[in-house]
Structure 1
Amino acid sequence: MKKKMRYLSVILAGSMAVGVLGGNLTAFAEEGTENAEISGSLVIWEHTAQFEAPLKAVIEGFQELYPNVDVEYQIKTSDQYYNLLQTAMQAGEAPDLFWTNGTATTNMQVYAEQGLLMDLTDKVDFSLYDGTNAMSICSIDGTAWATPTAELGGRACFYNKDIFEELGLSVPTTFSEFEASLQTIADAGYVPISFGASDPWQVLFQFEPLLAAMHLDWLDEYMETGTVEVNDERVAEVFNKMLDWADKGYYGAGYTGVDGSGALLAFSTGEAAMTIDGTWNIQTIQENNPDLNLGAFQVPCEDGTKPFVGTSSCGFSVSANTENEEAALAFANYFAGLEGQTRWIGALESIPCTQEIVSENPVINEIADFDVQTESYYSILGYLEGDGESPRNVWEEDQCKIFSGGLSVQEFVDELQALIG
Structure 2
Amino acid sequence: MKISRVLAGAVLVALCGTACAPGASSDTTAAEPSGPVKKGAGDEKVTLKLVSTPESGAAVKSVIKAFEAKYPQVTIDYEDNNVDDYNKALNLSLASDQAPDIALLNSVGTTVKDGLVIDLSRYAEAYDWDKTYPSTQLNQWRVAKDGSTLGTGGLYAAPAGFSLVGVYYNKAKAAEAGITTPPATLEEFEAALAKAKKAGELPLQLGNQQGHASFPIQLIGQSADGAEAAARWTFGQKGATFDTPGNRTAADKLIAWKKKGYLPSGANGTDLQTAVDKFTKGQGVYFVDGNWDAEKIGDKLGKDAGFIAFPSPKATAIGTSVAYAISSKSRHADTAAFFLDFLHSPEASAAEFKAGFLPADLTAAKPQDGTVMKDIVAAWGRVNDDNGLVGFNNNATATMNDKLTATTQELLAGRTSTDGFVKAVQDEWSKTHG
Scaled to the shorter chain, the TM-score interval is 0.5 to 0.7
Partner of 2:140: 137
Corresponding residue to 2:171 among 161, 171, 185? 161
Partner of 2:21: none
CA shift in 2, pair 1:90/1:318, >3 Å:
closer
Partner of 1:339: 347
In the alignment, the residues of structure 1 paired with residue 270 and residue 338 of structure 2 have an alpha-carbon distance, to the nearest angstrom, of 39
Q: Give the deviation of 1:400 after TM superposition.
A: 0.7
In the alignment, the residues of structure 2 paired with residue 53 and residue 210 of structure 1 have an alpha-carbon distance, to the nearest angstrom, of 33
**Which amino acid counterpart does residue 196 of structure 1 have in structure 2?**
G
In the alignment, the residues of structure 1 paired with residue 427 and residue 192 of structure 2 have an alpha-carbon distance, to the nearest angstrom, of 34
Corresponding residue to 2:306 among 295, 298, 308? 295
CA shift in 2, pair 1:391/1:161, >3 Å:
closer
130-139 vs 368-377, which deviates more?
368-377
CA shift in 2, pair 1:377/1:401, >3 Å:
farther
| TM-score computed with the length of structure 1 as normaliser | 0.63
Does structure 1 residue 396 correspond to structure 2 residue 401? yes
Q: Give the deviation of 1:341 after TM superposition.
A: 2.8
How well do the aligned residues superpose, as a CA RMSD in angstroms?
5.0
SS at match of 1:315: strand
Corresponding residue to 2:186 among 175, 178, 200? 175
Kindly tell me the number of residue pairs found equivalent between the two proteins.
363
Q: Does the 8 A contact of 2:62 with 2:351 survive in 1?
A: yes
In the alignment, the residues of structure 2 paired with residue 253 and residue 242 of structure 1 have an alpha-carbon distance, to the nearest angstrom, of 13
Partner of 1:317: 325
CA shift in 2, pair 1:150/1:175, >3 Å:
same
Q: Give the deviation of 1:204 after TM superposition.
A: 4.1
Partner of 1:73: 80
Does structure 1 residue 413 correspond to structure 2 residue 425? yes
Partner of 1:108: 108
Partner of 1:252: 264
Q: Does the 8 A contact of 1:307 with 1:370 survive in 2?
A: yes
In the alignment, the residues of structure 1 paired with residue 422 and residue 158 of structure 2 have an alpha-carbon distance, to the nearest angstrom, of 37
Q: Deviation digits for residues 333-358 of structure 1, max 9, x if unmatched?
A: 54354422342245436363x57657
In the alignment, the residues of structure 1 paired with residue 77 and residue 46 of structure 2 have an alpha-carbon distance, to the nearest angstrom, of 11
CA shift in 2, pair 1:285/1:190, >3 Å:
farther
Partner of 1:273: 285
Gaps in structure 2 of 5+ consecutive residues: 8-41, 144-151
In the alignment, the residues of structure 1 paired with residue 75 and residue 227 of structure 2 have an alpha-carbon distance, to the nearest angstrom, of 51
Partner of 1:235: 247
Q: Does the 8 A contact of 1:309 with 1:373 survive in 2?
A: no
**Which amino acid counterpart does residue 208 of structure 1 have in structure 2?**
Q
CA shift in 2, pair 1:415/1:272, >3 Å:
same
In the alignment, the residues of structure 2 paired with residue 350 and residue 177 of structure 1 have an alpha-carbon distance, to the nearest angstrom, of 27
Partner of 2:32: none
53-62 vs 391-400, which deviates more?
53-62
Q: Give the deviation of 1:207 after TM superposition.
A: 2.0
**Which amino acid counterpart does residue 115 of structure 1 have in structure 2?**
G
SS at match of 1:205: helix
Q: Give the deviation of 1:114 after TM superposition.
A: 0.8
In the alignment, the residues of structure 2 paired with residue 234 and residue 176 of structure 1 have an alpha-carbon distance, to the nearest angstrom, of 14
In the alignment, the residues of structure 1 paired with residue 384 and residue 329 of structure 2 have an alpha-carbon distance, to the nearest angstrom, of 46
Q: Give the deviation of 1:398 after TM superposition.
A: 0.9
Corresponding residue to 1:211 among 200, 205, 221? 221
CA shift in 2, pair 1:335/1:275, >3 Å:
same
In the alignment, the residues of structure 1 paired with residue 251 and residue 265 of structure 2 have an alpha-carbon distance, to the nearest angstrom, of 19
Partner of 1:350: 358
CA shift in 2, pair 1:212/1:195, >3 Å:
same
406-415 vs 203-212, which deviates more?
406-415
CA shift in 2, pair 1:123/1:261, >3 Å:
farther
In the alignment, the residues of structure 1 paired with residue 89 and residue 273 of structure 2 have an alpha-carbon distance, to the nearest angstrom, of 20
Partner of 1:386: none
Q: Give the deviation of 1:163 after TM superposition.
A: 2.0
**Which amino acid counterpart does residue 169 of structure 2 have in structure 1?**
Y
Q: Does the 8 A contact of 1:42 with 1:69 survive in 2?
A: yes
Q: Give the deviation of 1:413 after TM superposition.
A: 3.3
In the alignment, the residues of structure 2 paired with residue 177 and residue 167 of structure 1 have an alpha-carbon distance, to the nearest angstrom, of 14
Q: Give the deviation of 1:316 after TM superposition.
A: 1.6
